[in-house]
Structure 1
């Protein structure tokens, strides 16, 4: 038995096309264009909905487990993988993959691309997401002295929000190789700084200490209230530090959350303590100089 084929071969198809008139070709071209556009639209919509679903899934995970640098990187990596799959499938799928992988020339290109900056940044981002030298919301300082809050990790770069809300974009490979100071590395330990205030020799020391302690505890930017225990001598928040030439120096350690700027907390705490001491009649001494002018005799 002979095989019967209803599809025209190459020569027959060429002959059919040569015999078509212009009026007959136009509808065929229009149908082909419409088919192509509809197919492209289907793939675009499919890609859009898959990426939206990917984002929604990670948003749900983020609500349960909190935002992290690992989740951000995974979301973008999976989105890139999905796009690659959706592009490869209509081009031949397995056959395309086999022909690409079987080509030594393409393999050489892949090896060459491994040294490319894009792939270096992607692999560096993967390392950052795994080992977490910093996380979303961490306050870090770069080697050049600039400090800010880590806002985002993409496949290529880290976004750092500086104190003045300026964004610094750091390539992942550079961030992964740099020495970075992370003020938020141990998040269970709050950040802190010390304040010192001088009071007059005749001031009521116990009253001044209580005013400072209460002012710090009532400040909404500090965590001192949660750390102070009245019965625990090790948890005292205000200390008599020293006596100087003109004042008794009282000091305290201020504890505050990682996400707050140090300058903002210092401003708020110092302003409140200064006003509280003045309002309660506690003298805040300052250095001054008495100048004695010697009047010379007119005969000299």
Structure 2
């Protein structure tokens, strides 16, 4: 036994040192993980801790892998140790770059979330911060991937070229024709020219109306009146003609249109439409002082078309915003219909005349 210890004394000391270092690093990682988790919840309540947990797992796995590689050095021949030392360096490099990248993304996320919450609390527009968060995280992730690529000989040339100034331009030019870059460019245009921002109510098509909830590098998300999330690529939404109900004045003019039969009393129908609109609690008096002085009606009504089977009337009803306009329209369409029925005003509906040919 003494002879064995004497013969392998240096190896035993080496194994003990490696095990102690791995165990110390493992314990230190666990302690730091708990400390960071507690500090995050103290200073940034509600912050996501998935990245902290991921770093914890990566570091623990890294210490285990490096420990195994270090212990394996005593069992292989001297001439082959170079390869294992290279593996040791490779895993160390990959682990460090991964941790640094995740830490950078986490810090960026925490900072941008803090600024977004602060902006929301002040009732300001958080669109710029939300979009820049995606840009910064994408750039950090790209830099991490390129740095990891440097560790592999087959990818090293590509990574070095991409990390250079000319390489970045070449990389961008290579993706210029791709749909991904078109969406990113579309997102940048939205942020720069602000046709809409987060919390704006927009109308992208006749059936696509909702509130903008997010603008990412790839797409814009709007929540429609059915509480469904609609995802529209930035390249698509930039080409669409859209209505922004919150751009400029929020006041909205709603067209209340009804068709009556040619035999019905037009003046009475216009009066009923005017009264129902003016009596609604959401109506807005949009008249100027001069119009009020001249006793102009709050709600204008007029014949807008003589159709094939109906006289089409319109009332111009103003409200404070689009949501009020929609609610007013729903209410007064019902109340006008009831008043028309009481007054004997007919609303025409399609008729079809069928001619039966007599059989000889």
> What is residue 219 of structure 1 aligned with on the other side?
280
Is 1:124–2:221 an aligned residue pair?
no
> Does the Cα contact within 8 Å between 1:159 and 1:167 map onto a contact in 2?
yes
Residue 213 to residue 225, structure 1, CA distance change in 2 (3 Å): farther
CA–CA separation in structure 1 for the residues paired with 2:244 and 2:22: 64
CA–CA separation in structure 2 for the residues paired with 1:146 and 1:79: 34
Residue 73 to residue 217, structure 1, CA distance change in 2 (3 Å): farther
> What is residue 30 of structure 1 aligned with on the other side?
23
CA–CA separation in structure 1 for the residues paired with 2:322 and 2:25: 58
Aligned length: 259
Is 1:56–2:114 an aligned residue pair?
yes
Partner SS, residue 125 of structure 2: coil
> What is residue 140 of structure 1 aligned with on the other side?
203
> What is residue 95 of structure 2 aligned with on the other side?
none
Residue 17 to residue 70, structure 1, CA distance change in 2 (3 Å): farther
The offset of 1:105, in angstroms, is 5.5
Gaps (5+ residues) in structure 1?
1-14, 92-99, 292-300
Is 1:167–2:160 an aligned residue pair?
no
> Does the Cα contact within 8 Å between 1:139 and 1:183 map onto a contact in 2?
yes
Partner SS, residue 323 of structure 2: coil
Residue 242 to residue 51, structure 1, CA distance change in 2 (3 Å): closer
* Bigger proportion of residues as helix: 2
> Alpha-carbon deviations, 1:110-142, whole Å to 9, x = none?
335422655553343122111012233232225
1:254 aligned to which of 317, 327, 345? 317
Matches within 5 A, 1:84-95: none
User: Cα RMSD over matched residues?
Assistant: 4.8
CA–CA separation in structure 2 for the residues paired with 1:242 and 1:123: 43
CA–CA separation in structure 1 for the residues paired with 2:112 and 2:344: 63
Is 1:182–2:243 an aligned residue pair?
yes
1:267 aligned to which of 325, 330, 339? 330
> What is residue 157 of structure 1 aligned with on the other side?
219
TM-score by length of 1: 0.62
> Does the Cα contact within 8 Å between 1:218 and 1:225 map onto a contact in 2?
no
TM-score by length of 2: 0.53
CA–CA separation in structure 1 for the residues paired with 2:221 and 2:193: 18
> Alpha-carbon deviations, 1:20-42, whole Å to 9, x = none?
25445322221123334556674
> What is residue 66 of structure 1 aligned with on the other side?
124
2:163 aligned to which of 106, 110, 119? 106
- List, as ranges, runs of 4+ consecutive aligned residues in structure 1 with deviation greater than 6 Å: 199-202, 242-249
Higher relative contact order, chain-length normalized (CA < 8 Å, sep 6+): 1
Residue 248 to residue 135, structure 1, CA distance change in 2 (3 Å): same
> Does the Cα contact within 8 Å between 1:73 and 1:153 map onto a contact in 2?
yes
CA–CA separation in structure 1 for the residues paired with 2:129 and 2:278: 36
